[in-house]
């Protein structure tokens, strides 16, 4: 394929009745042989045993963890792969919390670190947030969170880089990525989770067991309702302390962060980072939903015992509406001098000009060197480089696009969103 050629479009035509590849079938059968226990004490004991640590810090997280575990157990159609994955994630979060608290106990000066003038991106999933984050993160003056580091934020004592100089946490992430690509090869076409790509700090919020992350891996209305009715400021404060620890471990000292969750938590976000520059991306939510539910249903072929595209669409249409209504309600809590609305079509028309506008607001100069770093990143990461997935809400999910747009009229009108396609 030459530089001017693009990868072909891809249509997933078996979302509702998936035909598993041999590798997917093997993965499903293998997961069924792995016992998992969603008892809270069993999970915490496993984390203690695997780290050799015992102090989780404040035990207020236990109430939230209990709700997480009950919510996962409520999901009777979560298959073996989904249950094993959820269990491993929860154990990993508990282990990461133990390692954070241990580091903090040994180096209390970490709390003296300051998070100053971060650039924070909020916006719907699939609205350009990942591209904007990775583009800004190409500027080496800024500290960001690569995916491998988000999974294991703190080095394991006694571990060191191998002969190739690679951090063992990065090596583990590369192995996992290669395995995932074998099992689910089209995920990278929709949302590439390459080890070195820059990821969301939502992984750090999971150390306090309070985020909407769980909703992406299981059907958990019990957790959703709990999360939405509890003030998230304490968990945002906990996440800020984790960022201080990562900053203490290595610089630079000015962060670029991103999470779609922030869109419905603008109050807690700005209270936690009062000097932040916040860029909020906006895109036709119909396109966002089409992309998100297709990605989720593709994963459900191995994650769940039954794939139900209309049910997935119904859940996420409601969930996106909640995100958007919270954003419309709270948008003005962030002062104009600290915030900017980034419309998807404008961002796609001139990526670097958009970053330059954000930098201007943030008081960060767009130097010749910084511009070259951004241009190098764009050249190496063209949009759709793995092939573009074709989304069809009507055919795959039974959702009429124009009716859905009418439901979101309040958002289109508030932010001047451009309709994409028909």
Residue 307 has pLDDT above 50, yes or no: yes
Report H helices in 75-191: 80-106, 129-137, 147-151, 168-183, 187-191
In whole angstroms, what is the distance from residue 338 CA to residue 360 CA?
A: 10
- 248: in domain: yes
At 7 the pLDDT is 65
Q: Count up the domains in the chain and report the number.
A: 1
Backbone angles phi, psi at 381, to 5 degrees: -135, 65
In whole angstroms, what is the distance from residue 144 CA to residue 393 CA?
A: 34
Which residue do the tokens 């999970």 mark? 43
Backbone angles phi, psi at 339, to 5 degrees: -145, 155
Q: Is 248 helix (H, G, I), strand (E, B) or coil?
A: helix
- 241: in domain: yes
pLDDT tens per residue, range 152-182: 999 998 898 888 889 999 999 999 999 999 9
Which CATH number covers residue 150? 3.40.50.300
CB 127 within 8 A of CB 283: yes
- 171: in domain: yes
- 11: in domain: no
Average pLDDT, the chain: 95
Tell me whether the omega of the peptide bond preceding residue 252 falls within 30 degrees of 0, making it cis: yes
In whole angstroms, what is the distance from residue 360 CA to residue 364 CA?
A: 6
- 231: in domain: yes
- 227: in domain: yes
- 68: in domain: yes
In whole angstroms, what is the distance from residue 126 CA to residue 295 CA?
A: 10
pLDDT tens per residue, range 319-344: 999 999 999 999 999 999 999 999 99
Tell me whether the omega of the peptide bond preceding residue 222 falls within 30 degrees of 0, making it cis: no
CB 145 within 8 A of CB 246: yes
Backbone angles phi, psi at 386, to 5 degrees: -90, -5
Q: Measured on CA atoms in the order 149, 150, 152, 153, is the torsion positive or negative?
A: positive
Domain with 365 in it: 22-157+166-415
- 273: in domain: yes
pLDDT tens per residue, range 254-277: 999 999 999 999 999 999 999 999
At 1 the pLDDT is 36
């Amino acid at each position: 394929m030459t530089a001017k050629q693009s990868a072909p479009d891809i249509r997933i035509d078996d979302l509702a009745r998936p035909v598993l590849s041999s590798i997917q079938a093997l993965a499903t059968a293998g997961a069924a042989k792995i016992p998992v226990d969603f008892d809270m004490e069993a999970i915490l004991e496993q984390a203690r045993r695997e780290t050799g640590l015992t102090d989780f810090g404040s035990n207020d997280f236990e109430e939230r963890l209990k709700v997480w575990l009950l919510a996962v157990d409520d999901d009777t159609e979560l298959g073996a792969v989904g249950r094993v994955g959820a269990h491993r994630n929860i154990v990993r979060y508990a282990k990461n919390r133990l390692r954070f608290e241990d580091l903090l106990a040994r180096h209390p000066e970490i709390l003296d670190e300051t998070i100053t003038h971060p650039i924070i991106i909020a916006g719907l999933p699939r609205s350009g947030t990942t591209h904007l984050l990775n583009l800004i993160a190409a500027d080496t003056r800024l500290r960001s969170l690569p995916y491998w580091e988000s999974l294991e934020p703190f080095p394991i004592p006694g571990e060191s880089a191998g002969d190739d100089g690679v951090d063992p946490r990065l090596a583990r992430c590369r192995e996992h990525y290669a395995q995932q690509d074998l099992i689910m090869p089209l995920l990278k076409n929709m949302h590439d989770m390459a080890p070195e790509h820059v990821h969301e700090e939502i992984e750090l919020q999971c150390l306090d067991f309070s985020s909407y992350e769980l909703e992406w891996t299981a059907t958990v209305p019990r957790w959703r309702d709990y999360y939405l009715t509890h003030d998230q400021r304490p968990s945002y404060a906990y996440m800020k302390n984790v960022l201080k620890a990562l900053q203490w471990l290595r610089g630079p000292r000015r962060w670029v962060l991103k999470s779609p969750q922030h869109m419905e938590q603008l109050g807690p976000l700005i209270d936690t980072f009062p000097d932040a520059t916040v860029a909020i991306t906006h895109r036709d939510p119909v396109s966002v939903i089409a992309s998100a539910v297709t990605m989720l249903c593709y994963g459900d072929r191995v994650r769940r015992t039954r794939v139900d595209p209309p049910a997935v669409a119904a859940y996420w249409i409601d969930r996106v509406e909640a995100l958007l209504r919270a954003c419309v309600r709270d948008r003005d809590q962030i002062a104009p001098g600290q915030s900017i609305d980034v419309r998807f079509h404008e961002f796609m028309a001139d990526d670097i000009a958009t970053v330059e506008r954000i930098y201007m607001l943030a008081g960060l100069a767009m130097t010749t060197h910084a511009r070259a770093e951004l241009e190098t990143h764009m050249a190496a990461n063209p949009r759709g480089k793995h092939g573009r997935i074709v989304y069809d809400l009507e055919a795959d999910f039974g959702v009429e696009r124009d009716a859905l747009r009418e439901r979101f009229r309040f958002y289109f009108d508030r932010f001047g969103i451009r309709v994409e396609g028909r």
